[in-house]
Amino acid sequence: MAEIKDNTQVWLDGEAKSITFIVTKDCQLACKYCYLVGKNSKERMSFEVAKAAVDYILGNPELFPDQSVVWDFIGGEPFMEINLIDRLCDYIKTEMYRLNHRWFNSYRFSFSTNGINYDSERVQRFIEKNHTHLSIGITIDGTRRKHDLNRIYKGSGLGSYDDVVRNIPLWLKQFPNGGTKVTISSPDIPYIKESVLHLFSLGIHEVNINVVFEDVWKEGDDELFEDQLMQLADAIIDGELYKENVCSFFREDLGKPLDISLENNNWCGAGKMLSIDAEGNFYPCTRFAAYSLRSKKPIIIGNIHDGINQNLLRPFLTLDRLTQSPTKCLSCEVASGCAWCQGENYDAAVTPTIYQRSTAICLMHKARVRANNYYWNKLYCKIELDGARPAKPSCIACSL
């Protein structure tokens, strides 16, 4: 359907190995919803540690059989370590070339940044050097009011909106398909509609938005949420914004029952990814590092000296929907698209296991499904009325 903009495909989504360097645990901001409970300015990755990780990964291609790779850099704020990143990316490129590694022809460097020092000379020089292999997302929450509610500077407590928005035109010029990630927690619900519309108006055509998986929801939040999404649906459809913009809250495949045996995959990619911290420890995903966990011990699956302990990966690689989900999820009529985060499941579980699915978002998902139904029904109806699409058959038997 040419009229409705689709999500831009994530580069080799699901096929590339994702390798994440936690280059620093420091950040200029102290966002109120930040899940990183152990942020600090001391743990910065050294080049020697990063290099040892690269040597291990590139030196053991049989352990990483994927055809492509995404080298991901996160923090804290990754661009606070631009010198390290620049040197490391040069090293990765040289080594992939020297080893004639299959990834040399299929790699990407990926960043999710708060955007504050995006226009700095060092970051810009790095972008220029690696442009064809870069994915950069800038995180902005929406309107000034909404953004500054959460994303405030450490110390001063001042909002960061102006410093981020200043860099959006430059970023979009360099990455015209750039999308942003928005995370919704309980206090953010009233601002959803205005925030998404504001991001569209800034020229960001792809807004990837989701509710946090943590158990933060209050009674009535689901109704407020549904109401906001309905208003957003009206605005997108009435204003024909769907032609150029995508908001990930609305997806056609959302809210269908799932077959217990045929649709038994795990949602989350933990274990298929690899994260490395400043000490050179390996994690199945960043969410299993100590600084991300509220109440559980970190799950360290190896380190740069001893490599990966394959036994510790087995639970991640055999996790399925059936085993970790409670009965209510297996018989749920609107199960498709109801996501989970393995790290949050682990953090919230009553025993130290990754096999207990947290369902804190249950009511929020159901609210989203209702609004999503409304969105697609309204959108199809509008397109039919506009004559851009044949009418839906009203009688199943005779297709009339």
Min CB(311)–other proteins separation in Å = 5
The pairs formed by 163-167 with CB atoms below 8 angstroms and a separation of 24 or more are: 163/115, 163/116, 164/114, 164/115, 164/116, 164/138, 164/140, 165/140, 165/202, 166/119, 167/115, 167/116, 167/118, 167/119, 167/138
Does 8 bind other proteins (CB under 8 A)? Our answer is no
Query: What are the residues whose beta carbons fall under 8 Å from the beta carbon of 338, sequence distance 6 or more?
Result: 329, 332, 361, 362, 365
Min CB(386)–other proteins separation in Å = 46
Strand partners for 275: 20, 283
Tokens standing for residue 188: 């953010």
* CA atoms within 13 A of residue 230's CA, in its CB half-sphere: 10
Min CB(287)–other proteins separation in Å = 15
Min CB(292)–other proteins separation in Å = 17
Min CB(171)–other proteins separation in Å = 40
Does 263 bind other proteins (CB under 8 A)? Our answer is no
Min CB(378)–other proteins separation in Å = 41
Does 235 bind other proteins (CB under 8 A)? Our answer is no
Per CB under 8 A, which of residues 36..65 are in contact with other proteins?
none
> How far are the Cα atoms of 290, 300, 333 from residue 286, in angstroms, in the given order?
9, 10, 32
Per CB under 8 A, which of residues 93..122 are in contact with other proteins?
none
Report DSSP letters for 55-112, one per residue.
Answer: HHHHH-GGG---SEEEEEEESS-GGGGHHHHHHHHHHHHHHHHHTT-GGGGSEEEEEE
DSSP letter assigned to residue 252 = T
Min CB(288)–other proteins separation in Å = 11
Residue 100 vs 351, nearer CB to other proteins: 351
Min CB(35)–other proteins separation in Å = 22
Q: Which stretch binds other proteins (CB under 8 A): 153-161, 166-174, 175-183, 354-362?
A: 354-362
Does 298 bind other proteins (CB under 8 A)? Our answer is no
Residue 117 vs 266, nearer CB to other proteins: 266
Residue 351 vs 394, nearer CB to other proteins: 351
> Could you give the residue ranges of the DSSP H alpha helices within 136-288?
144-150, 161-165, 168-174, 192-201, 221-238
- In total, the chain counts a number of residues equal to 400
> Could you give the residue ranges of the DSSP H alpha helices within 166-300?
168-174, 192-201, 221-238
Per CB under 8 A, which of residues 312..341 are in contact with other proteins?
312, 314-315, 317-320, 323
Residue 257 CA to chain centroid, in angstroms?
Answer: 24
Does 369 bind other proteins (CB under 8 A)? Our answer is no
Does 23 bind other proteins (CB under 8 A)? Our answer is no
Does 265 bind other proteins (CB under 8 A)? Our answer is no
Q: Which stretch binds other proteins (CB under 8 A): 71-79, 155-163, 307-315, 374-382?
A: 307-315
Does 350 bind other proteins (CB under 8 A)? Our answer is yes
Residue 322 vs 363, nearer CB to other proteins: 322
Residues that bind other proteins (CB under 8 A): 299, 310-312, 314-315, 317-320, 323, 349-356
